[in-house]
Chain A
Amino acid sequence: MDARPPVLAAEGLAVQVGRRDVCRDLNFSLQAGDTLVILGRNGAGKTTLLHTLAGLRDATRGAVLLSGQPYAAWPRGHEACLRGLLAQSQPDFFSATVLETALVGRHPYLGRWDWESPDDEAIALRALAQMGLDGFAERQVPTLSGGERQRLAIAALLVQQPRLYLLDEPLSHLDLHHEISVLDHFRSLAAGGAGVAMVLHDINLTARYASHVLLLDSQGGHVFGRAAEVLTTDTLSAAYGHPLRAITDGPHTLFVPA
Chain B
Amino acid sequence: MAHGQAAMRNTGLPSVRRRAAAVLAGLVLAALATFTWSLSAGALPVSFDDLLTALSGAGGSMESDIIRSLRLPRAVAAFACGGLLALAGALMQVLLRNPLADPYVLGISGGAAVGALGAILAGATAGWIDAGAFIGALGATLLVFGLAHGDGSWTQTRLLLTGVIVAAGCGAAVALMLSLAPEGRVKGMLFWLMGDASGATRPWPALGLLAIGLTAALPFARELNLLARGEVTARALGVRVGRLRGLVYGLGSLLTAVAVTTVGSVGFIGLIVPHLVRLAIGNDQRLLLPAATLAGGVLLCAADTAARTVVAPIQLPVGVLTALIGVPVFLFLLARHPR
Q: Is there contact, CB below 8 Å, between A93 and B238?
A: no
Interface residue A244 (Cβ < 8 Å from any Cβ of B): no
Is the CB–CB distance between B282 and A100 below 8 Å? yes
Chain A interface size, as a band, is 35 or more
Q: Which among A76, A78, A118 is the interface contact of B6 at CB below 8 angstroms?
A: A118
State whether B6 touches A96 (Cβ < 8 A): no
When distances are taken between beta carbons in the complex, the residues of chain B under 8 Å from A108 are 237-238
A110 beta carbon closer than 8 Å to chain B: yes
Query: B99: nearest residue on chain A (CB-CB)?
Result: A93
Q: A94-B283, A95-B339 are in contact. Are A107 and B238 (CB under 8 A)?
A: yes
Complex CA distance for A116 and B283, rounded to whole angstroms: 15
Taking a contact as CB atoms under 8 Å apart, the answer to whether B11 and A117 are in contact is: no
On whether the beta carbons of A105 and B4 are closer than 8 Å, the reply is no
User: In this complex, what residue of B is CB-closest to A89?
Assistant: B230
B232 sits at the interface (CB 8 A):
yes
Is A33 engaged at the interface, CB distance under 8 Å to the other chain? no
A132 at the interface (CB under 8 A from B): no
From B112-120, B172-180, B218-226, the one touching the partner chain is B218-226
User: Could you give 30 example pairs across A and B, Cβ below 8 Å?
Assistant: A51-B232, A80-B237, A84-B236, A85-B233, A87-B233, A90-B230, A90-B233, A93-B97, A93-B228, A94-B99, A94-B278, A94-B283, A95-B278, A95-B283, A96-B282, A99-B12, A99-B13, A100-B282, A103-B13, A104-B225, A104-B226, A105-B237, A107-B237, A108-B237, A112-B219, A115-B286, A118-B2, A121-B13, A138-B11, A140-B339
The 4 closest A-B pairs by CB, nearest first: A80-B238, A85-B236, A77-B238, A87-B232
Which residue numbers of A lie inside 8 Å of B, CB to CB? 51, 54, 56, 76-80, 84-85, 87, 90, 92-97, 99-101, 103-105, 107-108, 110, 112-113, 115-118, 121, 137-138, 140, 142-143, 160
Enumerate chain B interface residues (CB-CB to A < 8 A): 1-6, 11-13, 16-17, 93, 97-99, 219, 222-223, 225-226, 228-230, 232-233, 235-240, 278, 282-284, 286, 339
